[in-house]
Amino acid sequence: MELQHIWMLRLVVACALFLCIFFRSTSAVEGFESIACCADSNYTDPRTTLNYTTDYIWFSDKQSCKQIPEIVLSQRSNENVRLFHINEGKRCYNLPTIEDKVYLIRGTFPFDSFDSSFYVSIGVTQLGEVRSSRLQDLEIEGVFKATKDYIDFCLVKGEVNPFISQIELRSLPEEYLHDLPASVLKLISRNNLGDKKDDIRFPVDQSDRIWKATSNLSSALPLSFNVSNVDLRGNLTPPLQVLQTALTHPERLQFIHDGLDTEDYEYSIFLYFLELNSTIIAGQRVFDIYLNNEVKKERFDVLAGGSKYSYTILNISANGSLNITLVKASQSKFGPPLNAYEILQIRPWIEETNHIDVKVIQKLRKELLQNPENKALESWTGDPCILFPWKGIKCDGSNGSSVINKLDLSSSNITGPIPSSVTEMTNLEILNLSHNSFVGHIPSFLRSSLLISVDVSYNDLTGPLPESIISLPHLKSLYFGCNHHMSEEDPAKLNSSRINTDYGKCKVKEHKHGQVFVIGAITGGSLLITLAVGILFFCRYRYKLIPWEGFGGKNYPMETNIIFSLPSKDDFFVKSVSIEAFTLEYLEVVTEKYRTLIGEGGFGSVYRGTLDDSQEVPVKVRSATSTQGTREFDNELNLLSAIQHENLVPLLGYCKEKDQQILVYPFMSNGSLLDRLYGDAAKRKILDWPTRLSIALGAARGLAYLHTFPGRSVIHRDVKSSNILLDQSMCAKVADFGFSKYAPQEGDSYVSLEVRGTAGYLDPEYYKTQQLSEKSDVFSFGVVLTGNWGVAGEPLNIKRPRTEWSLVEWAKPYIRASKVEEIVDPGIKGGYHAEAMWRVVEVALQCLEPYSTYRPCMVDIVRELEDALIIENNASEYMKSIDSLGGSNRYSIVLDKRVLPATTSTAESTITTQALSHPQPR
């Protein structure tokens, strides 16, 4: 939400109540705003007595809140930090200001264990990079003069996602920018010399400048006197408490600041002097001031003006380092002193976008956000045009100040009426609102509008086309088709206006040529039967309940009771067993001292083993290079024992002796999907399309279960066809999720996850940003889907031309041209229903969107694949289901569930459906 608007709203309310005195009840100091990001509640900092408010009016989600790890010595009042997960661009806080007043704004960035780098800006003027090098929180502060009634404080994504814990806005004396009105001053250093105590700030300093205590400088001597009755003239003056300590030296006082920006910048240096020795008189303490070896003041005498206090502001251009040296002048009796100083870097103020355009677009954003379902506006913070323009906005800066001339909100899933403020965008030339769910009438546009192109097609608009839009003076194209409730237009009217238009006609989506009549012919009830039949056909089990003691005839220590299905020679059982803790010794026997290596994955080596009950098992040994500690291993074992799903490979046992981390899984007799699709000719079997579809659905369900795991979403990180295993009955089971990662969440420390995954399947966004989310799995699953129906080929095949190395890139043009038949695996040609195939192709394409935001989530994918399977099965089983199965009454147990039996893991419901539908396999 826009603070500005809230603030204005509050003002209006307050004025209405004749209380228009303070606009903020909680921060009583005028011109002060203190924001504690992600704090649990508003609070008062006991050290400063300042009141801090939370930041939820800007960013309401608590997903991005983290607790700061306790590794830093800083004294903090806020233990939380907001970490923005963004693809690119900026996130801004806007704080109320008064035009022409001078402020400082300070961001606090908690120390971060890795070398982070992102950027901070005031308005659109960059203040620089956030890169913490010392083991303490970093503060970045800038001084600026407000140009309007609010200021944006923005974080811009760099190598890593930006984070922040605190923002402080303070009004400052105007003198800071007296000679430099169109500048931003970035604080380099602010020192209180000769003081050994804490930093001094509010309430001692009424502007809440933070004066860092700096006592020990090689060979400089501290001076400290109780001064009173001093005439401290000038608004800039530091508090007396800062001035009553100083450093001095009999000959020369030298301050070196290294590590400044290496480009040339102008610096302003503020030096503050107070003569602390009351016996000294004018002429006795005289000195020269050098900046980087350049004499800036000769024979400077603090007492010369008749006051004990004096300050001077010196400017110099520098890069890399600054050397402030005060040298005793000839004939001076005493050496130079210095009580306090500030170094500020001068950056030119960059002009923001045309204020009127900004006001209108913010109003438009607010109108769109009145409908809480419009979520696509996350990037819409701060300046719309400069420093990463808002998504969907293009600007023109050729006439000095930037103006917005293009607004493209197409395919943004927006609902509600078209915001009326769109007509107030006086510089707008291109407006595209197509492919959304806008409702209501098209607003009337002003004749002064510069609009050249308007596209409102594919919405749900009503009413006639307003006359005002047809007669827009500059309009060249107008599309409004596929709004099924809009009135018919008279083509003659549009023809006469010589506008390019679709006349309100709706172009049918070309590729949807599936035979829909089958679906139409069947009632909802029988749809589900045939679906149930289809699923069970591929995942049929015979269940027996066997007490866990029966397992291998051995009593293993019982840790967690779980139920899972377990394949044996020719049958399936449900066993209630514990995940066993195997001894290292036992596993050496099982694997014959790790004799047969059967696989090598990102998480370690896999050996063949045979358990006591002659069950064959893969034994996965974590690689020695693993940095994972025992505690993490325990945590993940807990997770693994909690995870149980029909479509996930269960864990049989583990071993964690002598720093070994070993996992034992059941063997999947039909190998992996990879083997089936692209493996050696010997292993490869042509899978028919319905089998492929049900495998895809099974895998999707397994992943959906992981992603929605109660309490904590689990991300697989290495979804690929070799990790989708097929059991005896060709039921898909996702493997290798045991050492997946939890989705980032509150309380995580900032451990940079190394990017994991397999070439060809790896989410490009994850690779670029290293920001892990469920959507990375979705991308990889999209690759699996593509390989599942496409011409059999590895996801990455360097035998293809360079631009077509990746299966996905190669397939896309065919899909766009609606020529799926040409890339469908020849093995299933003629064996699929076109509509079902298209459903899957479309899901695959959505999964492969380069930006994760546009990818569906696994739960939606499951739904789509279920629909595809319904269509497929209806096409092939329609007649059969009517003839051989008779009426639908017998299946009522299954029918009242939208969730299909294959997803339910209780033996009971599965047995019921199984008994009803299929002869038992022998």
Ligand X SMILES: *[C@@H]1O[C@H](CO)[C@@H](O)[C@H](O)[C@H]1NC(C)=O
In the complex with ligand X, the residue whose CB is nearer, 29 or 687, is 29
User: Of these, 5, 23, 44, 671, which contacts ligand X (CB under 6 A)?
Assistant: 44
In the complex with ligand X, the residue whose CB is nearer, 337 or 534, is 337
User: Residue 345, interface with ligand X (CB under 6 A)?
Assistant: no
Strand partners, 93: 153
Strand partners, 80: 67
State the Cα–Cα distance between residues 881 and 528, nearest whole angstrom.
Answer: 11
Interacting residues with ligand X between 248 and 307 (CB under 6 A): 254, 256, 277, 279-280, 290, 293
Strands in 477-479's sheet, in edge-to-edge order, are 393-396, 403-408, 430-432, 453-455, 477-479, 500-501
Between strands 102-109 and 65-67, the pairing is unpaired
Least distance between ligand X and beta carbon 378 (Å): 12
Structure tokens that stand for 463 in this block: 């009413």
Least distance between ligand X and beta carbon 862 (Å): 14
In the complex with ligand X, the residue whose CB is nearer, 279 or 523, is 279
In the block, tokens 């290294």 appear at 258
Q: Tell which residue, 343, 387, 350, 383, has the closest CA to residue 186.
A: 343
Least distance between ligand X and beta carbon 415 (Å): 6
Count residues binding ligand X (CB under 6 A). 29
Q: Tell which residue, 104, 51, 110, 42, has the closest CA to residue 75.
A: 110
Helices and strands in the chain: count of H runs, count of E runs: 18, 48
Q: Return all residues near 766 (Cβ < 8 A) that are at least 6 apart.
A: 755, 757, 772, 773, 776, 779, 852
Q: How far, in Å, are 233, 247, 313, 722 from residue 273 at the CA level?
A: 12, 10, 12, 73
Interacting span for ligand X (CB under 6 A) from 21-29, 163-171, 258-266, 817-825: 21-29
Q: Return all residues near 889 (Cβ < 8 A) that are at least 6 apart.
A: none
Least distance between ligand X and beta carbon 500 (Å): 29
User: Residue 135, interface with ligand X (CB under 6 A)?
Assistant: no
- The amino acid occupying position 52 is Y
In the complex with ligand X, the residue whose CB is nearer, 197 or 819, is 197
State the Cα–Cα distance between residues 478 and 491, nearest whole angstrom.
Answer: 13
User: Of these, 26, 420, 515, 892, which contacts ligand X (CB under 6 A)?
Assistant: 26
User: Residue 332, interface with ligand X (CB under 6 A)?
Assistant: no
User: Of these, 74, 224, 444, 752, which contacts ligand X (CB under 6 A)?
Assistant: 224
User: Residue 471, interface with ligand X (CB under 6 A)?
Assistant: no
User: Residue 318, interface with ligand X (CB under 6 A)?
Assistant: no
Q: How far, in Å, are 448, 463, 479 from residue 469 at the CA level?
A: 11, 13, 11
Provide the 10 A C-beta neighbour count for residue 921. Answer: 12
493 marked as part of a ligand binding site: no
How many residues appear in the chain?
Answer: 922
Interacting residues with ligand X between 365 and 384 (CB under 6 A): 373
Mask for 406-435, x = binds ligand X (CB under 6 A): -------x-x--------------------
The one catalytic residue in 137, 205, 301, 718 is 718
748 is catalytic: no
Q: Identify whether the C-beta of residue 142 lies closer than 8 Å to the C-beta of residue 123.
A: no
Interacting span for ligand X (CB under 6 A) from 24-32, 60-68, 189-197, 609-617: 24-32
User: Residue 109, interface with ligand X (CB under 6 A)?
Assistant: no
User: Residue 614, interface with ligand X (CB under 6 A)?
Assistant: no
| φ, ψ for residue 303, nearest 5 deg | -85, -5
User: Residue 213, interface with ligand X (CB under 6 A)?
Assistant: no
User: Residue 50, interface with ligand X (CB under 6 A)?
Assistant: yes
Provide the 10 A C-beta neighbour count for residue 265. Answer: 16
Interacting residues with ligand X between 791 and 830 (CB under 6 A): none
Question: Given its phi and psi angles, is residue 545 left (phi above 0), alpha (psi -120 to 50 degrees) or beta?
Answer: beta
Q: Return all residues near 326 (Cβ < 8 A) that are at least 6 apart.
A: 252, 253, 254, 287, 288, 289, 290, 336, 338
User: Of these, 2, 7, 27, 780, which contacts ligand X (CB under 6 A)?
Assistant: 27
In the complex with ligand X, the residue whose CB is nearer, 151 or 385, is 151
Least distance between ligand X and beta carbon 642 (Å): 28
Least distance between ligand X and beta carbon 895 (Å): 25
Interacting span for ligand X (CB under 6 A) from 42-50, 357-365, 580-588, 871-879: 42-50
Least distance between ligand X and beta carbon 408 (Å): 16
Least distance between ligand X and beta carbon 819 (Å): 26
Annotated binding residues, written as ranges, equal: 620
Task: Return residues touching ligand X (CB under 6 A).
Answer: 24, 26-29, 41-42, 44, 49-51, 53-54, 216, 224-226, 254, 256, 277, 279-280, 290, 293, 323, 325, 373, 413, 415
Annotated binding residues for ATP, written as ranges, equal: 620
The residues annotated as belonging to the active site are 718
